[in-house]
Amino acid sequence: MSIPESRIDDDRNAAATVTLWADAGRTYEAKLREISPQADPATRTYQARYALRTPDAAMALGKTATVHLASQGAGERAKVPLAAVFKDQGQPSVWLIDEANGRLIRKSVEVSAWTETSAIISGGLAAGQKIVVAGVHKLDAGMPVRIVEVAP
C-alpha cells in the first residue's frame, strides 16, 4: 500500500482491516508492520506493509487483497479515477464543472491515499460536485464545457 506523506501520522494510528478480492465478505484485522523510510521518487508516497492479526486458511500467500483504513475523525471521502487528478504547482487538483456557467474551475484537493487505479479524495470536494475524469492535462480554467449523458 502507498501512503502520501501528509497521511503517515494519521495512518499509523488508523484501524486497519483487510478483505480478499476472492472473498470480499470476509474481513481480517491488520496492524501496520512497516513504513518505508524513503519515498518512491515517482509518486512521492511511502510503501506501507500490514500484518494480519489472525490469518486463517483462506488467507494464502499471493492472494490479492484490499487494505481499509479508518482514521480517527475521517470525514467524507470520494474515490476518483487517477486520470481525474493532476498536479498544479505541486498540489493535487481536479477540474470542477460549473454547470450553471458551463465552465471549468481548477480545484485543489487533499488526497488521502493512492491506489493503482484511483485516488481517495479526503478534502476539497463536496458531495454531488461533478469533475472531469479524462483529458485533464489538456484543459484550462474557464474553458467552456457541457456534460454529455451516456445512456445506460
Instruction: Calculate the CA 28 to chain-centre distance.
Output: 21
pLDDT(98) > 60: yes
Asked if residues 110 and 121 have their Cβ atoms less than 8 Å apart, the reply is yes
pLDDT(21) > 90: no
> Of 75, 90, 78, which Cα lies nearest the Cα of 131?
78
pLDDT(75) > 60: no
Query: 123-135 burial by CB neighbour count: b if 16+ within 10 A, else e?
Result: ebbeeeeebbeee
Other beta carbons within 10 Å of 38? 7
In this prediction, residues 121-134 reach a mean pLDDT of 88
Provide the terminal-to-terminal Cα distance of the chain, rounded to the nearest Å.
34
- Measured CA angle at 133 (ends 132, 137), to 5 deg: 80
Amino acid at 10: D
pLDDT digits (tens, 9 = 90+) for 35-72: 999 998 988 889 999 989 888 888 888 888 888 887 55
> Of 109, 95, 83, which Cα lies nearest the Cα of 144?
95
pLDDT(141) > 90: yes
Other beta carbons within 10 Å of 8? 13
